[in-house]
Amino acid sequence: MNWTDIQEISIYEFMGQKFIGLKLEDTDHFMSQQSGLKKWLMRMNKGMVQAPVNIAQSAISISLEELYVMMVSTWQRARE
């Protein structure tokens, strides 16, 4: 996935846990490139949460807000 494939980056909460969600320009194309369990999990996410690609606070060692700021900055530069 390239930064230009991302349509929106947001922080949201689901079931008491914070996530960074990525909405993609072409979710179906991205999902078609995935295999097995990853594709199944993304399909399940698509119906339950705000974005098909998600990063959970519990999966990273820095704060979600800090990662969000870095991601948005890089994403904005890539879209210029």
Six token digits for residue 14: 């689901």
Q: Fill in the DSSP letter of residue 25.
A: T
Write down the pLDDT at residue 7: 94
pLDDT at res. 50:
73
Q: What is this structure's pTM? A: 0.83
Angle at 65 between CA 61 and CA 70, to 5 degrees: 85
Residues 12-71: tens digit of each pLDDT? 998 899 999 999 999 888 888 888 888 888 777 777 777 888 899 999 999 999 999 999
Q: What is the pLDDT of residue 34?
A: 86
Q: What is the reported pLDDT for 52?
A: 83
Task: Kindly list the distances between the CA atom of residue 26 and the CA atoms of 14, 51, 57, in Å, as whole numbers in the listed order.
Answer: 23, 12, 25
Give pLDDT, residue 20.
95
